């Protein structure tokens, strides 16, 4: 158990950031899964509009360092390839 006030504050901040990061990652996973379902249903037009939203979420997560920027770029690249392959 931390004793110093700064350690206690750091622990509170870490917990708050962790919960925020989990929320961002959960929303991101949900959007990617929704995109995959649209692709499997061959609904290309809706998948393209959702892809813009997914890209935005990936970029925001990378900007906040919730995920690594290279991970975001890799996921975007793979999503685009799946869309092109399906279309």
**Average pLDDT of the chain to the nearest whole number:** 95
pTM of the model: 0.86
Measured over the CA atoms of residue 12, residue 14, residue 17 and residue 18, the dihedral's sign is negative
Residues in the chain: 87
Q: Average pLDDT, stretch 51-76?
A: 97
Looking up residue 52, the CATH number of its domain turns out to be 1.20.58.110
Print the domain residue range for 58. 5-86
How many separate domains does the chain show? 1
End-to-end Cα distance, the chain: 56
25 CB burial (10 A radius; 0-12, 13-18, 19+): middle
Q: Quick check: 87 pLDDT over 90?
A: no
The whole-number average pLDDT for the span 39-45 is: 94
| Residues 72 and 80 sit within 8 Å (Cβ to Cβ) | no
């Amino acid at each position: 158990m931390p004793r110093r006030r700064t350690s206690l504050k750091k622990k509170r901040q870490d917990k708050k950031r962790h919960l925020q990061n989990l929320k961002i990652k959960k929303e991101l996973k949900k959007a990617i899964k929704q995109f995959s379902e649209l692709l499997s249903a061959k609904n290309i037009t809706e998948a393209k509009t959702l892809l813009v939203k997914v890209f935005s979420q990936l970029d925001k997560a990378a900007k906040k360092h919730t995920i690594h920027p290279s991970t975001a770029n890799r996921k975007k690249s793979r999503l685009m390839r799946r869309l092109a392959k399906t279309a």
